Structure 1
């Protein structure tokens, strides 16, 4: 009888261990330890032309992908040691905090509120919020021109959506789960404009030549950073080293030209890394 009780207790303990293992850790990852093991899980977007796209054959392409891959290689992880995980705008902090990704490279604007939750390396790019409209629409020239009943689309949890709500409360803002959904709504006439950063919008305009155009001038400054676990200063320092190396070797400019030379945007100067 005692043996049966012991056996039952062991079985229950093993079952609990298996369950916990299956559920995964809810702690942030150790980026450099994972890199030393030869594998990294990187969060990014899957639907942003020119920046980060998951192709039909499941390969990843775009400027953000090249930046993320360069960083991984600098940390000692080859391309085949990377697992790509989709990181929608509203889920990026959660993915980092719960240890589902090592770091995020996905048009991730550095903001004071986000820095309370995660750390950032970079910036690796400086963008500006703008508007995408249908090519035949000349009525929209900036955010102020949207306040007369126009419908504007952005992504829930994104910096552009938050800025519109704060600075232009009279605009009819519709928030979708992805920018590709906003592009589809714009194409179908369900909304009048899409707002996010100019580099993202230029990628969509290049993907659909003659259908869309950028309207007005950028009205914010967005610093794109690499999001990583809060307090992982060693990883942040190494990733900053990687970004500076990418810029110094010319790989940064080459990656931008390969991915975005057809977007209509001029080649920007590379940013200075913030060693806060």
Structure 2
């Protein structure tokens, strides 16, 4: 199976996803509270994930800790709150968290409701399959494609493959389960 996964080229050229931080709370509020509340992913290795002991780790987790160190003088002055794709921006807008560092792609729709930092990571979109017969997008034109709910990839798939059946999933793990189901 993994040979097939590695063999499929990037989808749609390269969709550049720029997942920056989204900031909502005032610094004075954060300082008064004594800790930063950060929305993070816990199922997106290596950006944000749970290790074998259940602890949150990853690049975005380290960014959150460094931000707490820079703002509050203590890298442990941070409360990490795992969120789903759908919850990321809403958690900031609704004031549930101070900032989201959770693989968020900048879109014009999101920019209308939240402010974004400079990008810290560039990403692309790829497709994986268990079939060795997929050689081009035409081979997927009427297939089933799992896409993360709340992902900016959804619009690209709908545009490029309007005949494909979209299967919404909440995590990459769920996408793998769907892939193995066929």
Q: TM-score, normalised to structure 1's length?
A: 0.53
Mapped to 1, the partners of 2:119 and 2:54 lie a distance apart of: 27
**Alignment gaps of 5+ in structure 1:** 1-27, 191-276
Partner of 1:139: 133
Mapped to 2, the partners of 1:77 and 1:165 lie a distance apart of: 46
Partner of 1:85: 81
Partner of 1:164: 157
Shift of the alpha carbon at 1:70? 1.9
Mapped to 1, the partners of 2:86 and 2:136 lie a distance apart of: 25
SS in 2 for 1:90: coil
Mapped to 2, the partners of 1:176 and 1:123 lie a distance apart of: 26
Shift of the alpha carbon at 1:75? 1.6
Mapped to 2, the partners of 1:77 and 1:84 lie a distance apart of: 17
SS in 1 for 2:119: strand
Q: 1:176 aligns with which of 169, 173, 178?
A: 169
1:129 matched to 2:125? The reply is yes
Matches within 5 A, 1:227-266: none
Q: TM-score, normalised to structure 2's length?
A: 0.78
Partner of 2:181: 189
Q: Is the 8 A contact 2:64 2:78 kept in 1?
A: no
Shift of the alpha carbon at 1:153? 0.3
Q: Give the structure with the larger helix fraction.
A: 1
Q: Give per-residue Cα distances to partners, 1:144-197, cap 9 Å, x unaligned.
A: 4311x32110111110112212332111111112222112222x233xxxxxxx
Cα RMSD of the aligned pairs, angstroms, is 2.0
1:30 matched to 2:43? The reply is no
Mapped to 2, the partners of 1:142 and 1:157 lie a distance apart of: 25
Q: Is the 8 A contact 1:153 1:173 kept in 2?
A: yes
Q: Give per-residue Cα distances to partners, 1:126-148, cap 9 Å, x unaligned.
A: 111111223xx32224544311x
Mapped to 2, the partners of 1:96 and 1:39 lie a distance apart of: 16
SS in 2 for 1:138: coil
SS in 1 for 2:96: coil
Q: Is the 8 A contact 1:50 1:62 kept in 2?
A: yes
Mapped to 2, the partners of 1:172 and 1:130 lie a distance apart of: 17
Partner of 2:145: 152
* Structure number with bigger Rg: 1
Shift of the alpha carbon at 1:51? 1.2
Partner of 2:100: 104
RCO greater where, 1 or 2, for CA within 8 Å and sep 6 or more? 2
Residues 120 and 142 of structure 1, relative CA distance in 2, 3 Å threshold? farther
Partner of 2:9: none
Partner of 2:58: 62
Residues 189 and 79 of structure 1, relative CA distance in 2, 3 Å threshold? same
SS in 2 for 1:153: strand
Residues 107 and 158 of structure 1, relative CA distance in 2, 3 Å threshold? same
